[in-house]
């Protein structure tokens, strides 16, 4: 092979080698460019499922019950297994229950007769009296005091908010009146999107606010019952659907 041919061959091999190296580098260069482009692109996070509205977060009760459901993972059902025995003396239980009863009396949710009967239950020394105190993982406390004649169920939030009451002694107010008074008592009248979920017979008055994700109810059947629970719109829709199908 002549010198001239050897030079041509060397130049050809060098060119081929450079071409191969360039091709090998293309994928890496493309990946670097693509990664840089992705890093420069802003991605919005999807909205949190069942997130509480800004108005709901500003309301103390709505946020308290929301946090109880989604952060503490606690369930408010009476028959749930999420409750543990609260180590509290009988005197301590009486004081806590008595303070809550006084709040309800001052708010007009219990009349004088009902309040006096409840205090009589607290002071009873009957041997068959049942006196229990429980606490859940979110710091809510449930009291259950009863005799053969009367029964009182009371649930208080960490700040002694009365979020549930079931008292076997009835009062003068009807369910609809109780509900409006209870909403004022809970400081949730600022919400204007309340949906009426009351029963047709008038013994259960209930309302739901999607903004607060609050279900508030009052009943005058067989005594007096009040309650406030966190419910998502999906839970309410499912409950209404089941109720409609059950009555169809």
* Domain definitions of the chain by residue range: 54-247
- DSSP string of 128-152, one letter each residue: T-EEEEEE-TTS-EEEEEE-SS-EE
**Alpha carbon 118 to chain centroid, angstroms:** 29
| Res 178: pLDDT | 97
Distance, CA of 12 to CA of 28 (rounded, Å): 25
Please choose, from the candidates 156, 153, 135, the residue with its C-alpha nearest in 3D space to the C-alpha of residue 145. Answer: 153
Task: Show Cβ contacts of residue 167 under 8 Å, excluding neighbours closer than 6 positions.
Answer: 110, 114, 118, 151, 152, 153, 223, 224, 225
**For all residues of the chain together, what is the average pLDDT?**
83
Q: Is the pLDDT higher at 9 or at 161?
A: 161
| Res 175: pLDDT | 97
| Res 243: pLDDT | 75
Instruction: Measure Cα distances from 8 to 5, 18, 88, 177, 193 in Å.
Output: 5, 15, 99, 103, 86
Percent residues over pLDDT 90 in the chain? 66
| Res 3: pLDDT | 47
Say what the pTM is: 0.77
**Which pLDDT tens digit goes with each residue over 1-52?**
554 455 444 544 444 444 444 444 444 443 334 333 433 333 333 346 679 9
Percent residues over pLDDT 70 in the chain? 75
| Res 244: pLDDT | 73
| Res 39: pLDDT | 33
């Amino acid at each position: 092979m002549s010198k001239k041919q050897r030079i041509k061959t060397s130049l050809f091999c060098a060119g081929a080698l450079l071409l191969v190296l360039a091709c090998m580098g293309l994928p890496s260069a493309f990946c670097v460019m693509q990664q840089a482009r992705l890093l420069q692109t802003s991605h919005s996070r999807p909205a949190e499922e069942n997130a509480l509205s800004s108005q709901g977060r500003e309301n103390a009760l709505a946020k308290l019950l929301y946090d109880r459901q989604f952060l503490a993972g606690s369930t408010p059902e009476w028959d749930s297994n999420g409750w543990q025995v609260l180590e509290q003396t009988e005197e301590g239980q009486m004081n806590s229950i008595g303070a809550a009863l006084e709040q309800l009396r001052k708010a007009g949710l219990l009349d004088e007769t009902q309040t006096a009967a409840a205090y009589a239950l607290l002071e009873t020394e009957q041997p068959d009296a049942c006196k229990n105190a429980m606490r859940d993982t979110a710091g809510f406390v449930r009291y259950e005091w009863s005799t053969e004649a009367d029964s009182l169920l009371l649930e208080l939030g960490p700040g002694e908010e009365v979020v549930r009451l079931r008292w076997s002694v009835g009062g003068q107010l009807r369910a609809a009146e109780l509900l409006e008074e209870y909403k004022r008592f809970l400081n949730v009248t600022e919400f204007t999107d309340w949906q009426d979920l009351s029963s047709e017979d008038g013994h259960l008055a209930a309302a739901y606010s999607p903004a607060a994700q609050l279900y508030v109810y009052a009943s005058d059947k067989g005594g007096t019952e009040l309650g406030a629970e966190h419910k998502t719109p999906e839970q309410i829709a499912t409950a209404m659907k089941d109720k409609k199908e059950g009555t169809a």
